Amino acid sequence: MKNLKEGFESICIRDVDNDNFHAHLPPIYATSTFAYKDLDRAIAYFKGENQDYMYSRLGNPSNQAVADKIAKLEAFGISDENGEPIQAYGQLFASGMGAIAAATVGLLKSGDKIITQGNLYGTTNELFTSLLLDYGIETIIFNLKDLEHLENTILNDETIQMIYIETPANPTLQSFDLEAIAIIAQNMGIKTVVDNTFATPYLQQPLKYGIDLVVHSSTKYLNGHGTGISGVVIGKDNSLVNGKVKNIQKMFGACASPFEAYLLNNGLKTLALRMDKHCENAEKLAYFLKNHELVNHVNYLGDIDHLDHLLAKDQMKKYGGMLSFEIKGGFENSIQFLRNIQFCTVTASLGTPDTLVSHPASMSHAKMDKMQRLEYGISDGLIRVSVGLENIEDIVADFEQALEKLNV
């Protein structure tokens, strides 16, 4: 395939032949250890002179094949200053949190600071503001929309060494300008990490804007079927991905299981197809909700009334499969709405074929200070939806009957 151009969907689907028997699908290398068939090569490996497989915590062909595939997707269609296609590198982790921990701990040291938004994924927020703090890495929660103030803040504090961004952010889909933030970071000589879980590389490619590392909870849309937990770190700089980041994986033991790699690779094959359908169904559900009398407002990036609609239009290929909406009647009515749901699935998480409905105020954000929660638009009546791939009329009918049964 050297001279043939591969489209995004083709990269998702085609596998590299990585075994001696030419299995059509990449085998699950269920082995802890690889034998030293060639002693000279083994000795050279331990000197760091080759990248052979030795022990699955340090590398496994099933894991590497899928990490390479996701790296190709994140780098898809992106050229460098000379017009040459960029190359990206990837490492697979046991979970999204394993990937996020490695990308941050690997690049930082005690005394460094992270600057980030206040509406991060809950466990990422906990990692930054509690665990990392205990190890001398402080986190500044900041309004990443205020670019001028961001630049000055970094300029005046040389211990700020990383900007960490999650866009679109949960559950209001607030979005941040990756290009503008990457320029500030590059001017200041600091690193940027983007959690691209909600968008996937099909809809948004942070590497295009000069972001250093992309992390994913591949548990979500990349696996796409809710069958397992995994994470990935992708970047253009091999010395970061296969140096500092991989080193944390080695020492913390956050390596993925080859079985998870197999599930992830299988799911990835339909990524483009699924994302198109998630986006299409989300748009239709958003339209229904926006016109419903019991709904105050809808947060959906494809809606021209969303504050970040134009940014999303610019930065993303489509508007994604996530939305949230506020039900009239606050906390009680939104809990009642969940009780009324019959067809969709009431749970957190996202990116599965079925539609998932949750109530952030009593679930994912229940521990958050109420004032802070409201500041980020997570009101008592807010419902979050990961719009699935079912027949849209069935999804809409379920929401319609669940809303109808409310006594407002």
Ligand X SMILES: *Cc1c(COP(=O)(O)O)cnc(C)c1O
Determine the Cα–Cα distance for residues 249 and 9; give it in Å rounded to an integer.
29
Q: What share of the chain is helix, strand, coil (3-state, %, to 5)?
A: 40, 15, 45
Q: Does 231 bind ligand X (CB under 6 A)?
A: yes
Amino acid sitting at position 188: M
Q: State phi, psi for 42 to the nearest 5 degrees.
A: -65, -45
- Which one, 27 or 122, has the nearer CB to ligand X? 122
Q: How far is the CB of 171 from ligand X (least distance, A)?
A: 10
- Separation in Å, CA 339 to CA 294, 347, 360, 398: 16, 12, 15, 12
Q: Does 208 bind ligand X (CB under 6 A)?
A: no
Per rule CB under 6 A, is residue 125 in the interface with ligand X?
Answer: no
- Distance, CA of 70 to CA of 88 (rounded, Å): 9
The span from the CA of 200 to the CA of 322, in Å, is 12
Considering only 217-225, 234-242, 253-261, 369-377, which stretch makes contact with ligand X by CB under 6 A? Answer: 217-225
When binding is defined by CB under 6 A, the residue of 197, 200, 355, 386 that contacts ligand X is 197
If binding is defined by CB under 6 A, does position 209 make contact with ligand X? no
Structure tokens, 259: 């079985």
Backbone φ and ψ of 328, nearest 5°: -65, 140
Which one among 174, 219, 223, 334 touches ligand X, defined by CB under 6 A?
219
**Is 121 a binder of ligand X (CB under 6 A)?**
yes
Written as one letter, the residue type at 403 is L
Q: Which two tokens stand for residue 333?
A: 């009515």
97 binds ligand X (CB under 6 A): yes
The reply to whether 316 sits near ligand X by the rule CB under 6 A is no
CB of 206 to ligand X, least distance (A): 13
Q: Which of residues 77-96 bind ligand X (CB under 6 A)?
A: 95-96
Told to check if 217 binds ligand X by CB under 6 A, we report yes
Measured from the CB atom, the residue of 97 and 173 that comes closer to ligand X is: 97
Tell me the residue nearest to ligand X as measured from the CB: 96
Interaction between residue 63 and ligand X (CB under 6 A): no
Q: Tell me how many residues contact ligand X (CB under 6 A).
A: 14
State the binding string over 146-185 for ligand X (x if CB under 6 A, else -). --------------------x-------------------
Contacts with 387 (C-beta within 8 Å, 6 or more apart), sequence order: 278, 281, 282, 285, 321, 322, 323, 355, 395
CB 175 within 8 Å of CB 301: yes
Q: Is 364 helix (H, G, I), strand (E, B) or coil?
A: coil
Binding flag, residue 195, ligand X (CB under 6 A): yes
Q: Are β-strands 295-299 and 345-346 bridged in parallel, bridged antiparallel, or unpaired?
A: unpaired
Cβ closer to ligand X: 175 or 333? 175
Residues found near ligand X in the complex (CB under 6 A): 95-97, 121, 124, 166, 195, 197-198, 217, 219-220, 229, 231
